[in-house]
Amino acid sequence: MRKSIAVNSIFNIAYKLITAVYPLIAVSYLSHIVGSDKVGAINYAQNIVSWFVIIAALGLPTYGTKEIAKVADDKDKRSQLFCDLFTVNFLSTSIAVLAYVALIFAVPRFANEYVLYAVAGAQIVLSYINVDWFYQGMEEYKYISIRSTVIKLISLIALFIFVRTPDDYIAYVVLHVVAIAGNNVFNIVHARKYICVRGKKPSVWKHVKPVIVLLIASLAIEAYMMIDTLMLGIFHDDTVVGCYSNAMKLTRMVNTLCSAIGAVLLPRLSVTFSSGDKTQFNTLVNTALKVMLLLAIPATVGMVVLSDEIVLLLFGSTFGQSVPVLKVLALMVPVVVFNTMLGMQVLVTADMEWKYILSVGIGAVVNIVSNAIFIPRFGGVAAAWTSLASEVVVLTAYLIFTRKIVRIRIELWYWFSVALPLALYVLAYYFGLSKIPSDAWLAVVINVAVCCVLYFGLGLLLKNEAVWLCAKKAMQFCGKNKSVQENAPNGNETENRVDEE
């Protein structure tokens, strides 16, 4: 039986919130304790490791989710598929581990920080038992969110206990790896509830082509997401890397939260597309986009307006170079929302992986060339602008390739009902809120409160469809759904289609 999209969205947003906020709190605390140079060293090491983690994953986070969703109601088939994909993952992880070890011993820079890179590299080994794709395909978002909450809370407590001085930066990396280990071990143990692999013989080769295709796409995405940090590390010192990486982590946290609904839809879109219901497919995509943008656009405005306060609050006074970087990266959030939906959800669901690869490949080329030209001279700000430009290029390609699959219909009134309250907030900030003497904490709290009241209050008055849909879902939990339906704008057909799921 398929689970409610609304319920899944709530649990997935909670999971994404925990997944995103934990490293933000951890990095904020770490930044105040160890300083920008040590943060830069850690981020550079994790950047290197992430390339090998992607090789180990081999496209399974997307392919596994999509394929498990198709057989979620048949225990025998999903058990066989799990056995197949787990074997594929074992082989790819073995290759990644060997390649990483060879790199660490071959490059002098890595050998000089052997302990840091050895500890960080343990994350690659843990990919042997990474089966998150199985639970996402089964739409077990409640389990995922609860598991993640428990692990992250324990890790956060441990962080405050064991990381006290600048010399404890290795301990932070150890705790990061232990948190991943906890997630993966829980997953393997819990999987026995859903599968039975006894007597199953893995069939690997039929999965090789699609996962390699998605691996190429993942590496292309990684190229234009991580090459900036890699090049900054080559041409600039650890302080520049640390300031840029922290701004990027904050931006990615916001991207993750805003795109959480899209991640929930991947299993459902796969089933809907396979059934040939184009109307329902379009409805799901457009409704999700409106809700995601409802969060992404005010997040962008807030990050641009409050960048000084946010950086001082989260990272400390030594991260002043993060402020101009954050202002630029904030513009990326709405673009990433579109890219997440049109690329990962629409093109992959429609089995158009090569067009997906071509799109991100073009973006990667633009990013690499632009970074090579501008980073040596202009540093972190240049890296931010090239990241934004790459996302826009990818979006352009997605719009071209998806035009025959889905029609994006976002009404002019929707944009007006989003823009008006945000414009009023910006005016309130520059002519009133910014002149109120307060520390960073209080300034952020006051601004967020004022923005939320204006944004969602006027959204309801202006009958923004996405605001009303969110209000309806919230009221359902309070038993007041009837009054909301009676006052809702003319979008009930869309809401009903989503409710049916």
Return d(Cα 341, Cα 329) in angstroms, integer: 19
Cβ atoms 380, 245 nearer than 8 A: no
Q: Give the pLDDT confidence of 105-153 residue by residue, as tens digits.
A: 888 777 778 889 999 999 999 989 888 888 888 877 778 778 888 888 8
pLDDT at 499: 47
Return the minimum-mean-pLDDT range out of 74-78, 83-87, 91-95, 282-286: 282-286
In a domain, residue 460? The reply is no
Mean pLDDT of 181-206: 84
The answer, yes or no, to whether residue 478 has pLDDT greater than 60, is no
**Domain annotation covers residue 314:** yes
| Number of domains into which the chain is organized | 1
Residue 108 within any structural domain of the chain? yes
Find the range with the poorest average confidence among 121-130, 189-198, 266-275, 389-398.
266-275
C-beta of residue 114 within 8 angstroms of C-beta of residue 104: yes
In a domain? residue 389: yes
| pLDDT tens column, 47-62 | 889 889 988 888 788 7
pLDDT of residue 278: 76
The encoded tokens of residue 246 equal 């922290």
CB 124 within 8 A of CB 96: yes
Answer yes or no: are the C-beta atoms of 208 and 349 closer than 8 Å: no
Is residue 472 in some structural domain? no
Return d(Cα 17, Cα 2) in angstroms, integer.
24
Residue with tokens 């929302």: 337
- Distance, CA of 462 to CA of 456 (rounded, Å): 10
Query: In the Cβ-directed half-sphere of 5, how many Cα atoms lie within 13 Å?
Result: 26
**In a domain? residue 473:** no
- pTM (2 d.p.): 0.69
Domain that holds residue 342: 5-410
Amino acid at residue number 270: S
Query: In the chain, what's the furthest Cα-to-Cα distance?
Result: 71
Rounded to the nearest angstrom, the gap between the alpha carbon of residue 107 and the centroid of all alpha carbons in its chain is: 31
Q: Is residue 416 part of a domain?
A: no
Output the pLDDT for position 396. 94
DSSP 66-94: HHHHHTTT-HHHHHHHHHHHHHHHHHHHH
Three-state DSSP string of 355-380 = HHHHHHHHHHHHHHHHHHHHHHHHCH
* pLDDT band at residue 295 using 50, 70 and 90 as cut-offs: confident
Domain membership flag for residue 453: no
Rounded-to-integer distance, Cα 501 and Cα 494, Å: 11
Q: Compute φ and ψ for 139, nearest 5 degrees.
A: 60, 40
Name the nearest CA neighbour of 44 among 229, 207, 296: 229
As a three-state string, the secondary structure of 210-248 is: HHHHHHHHHHHHHHHHHHHHHHHHHHCCHHHHHHHHHHH
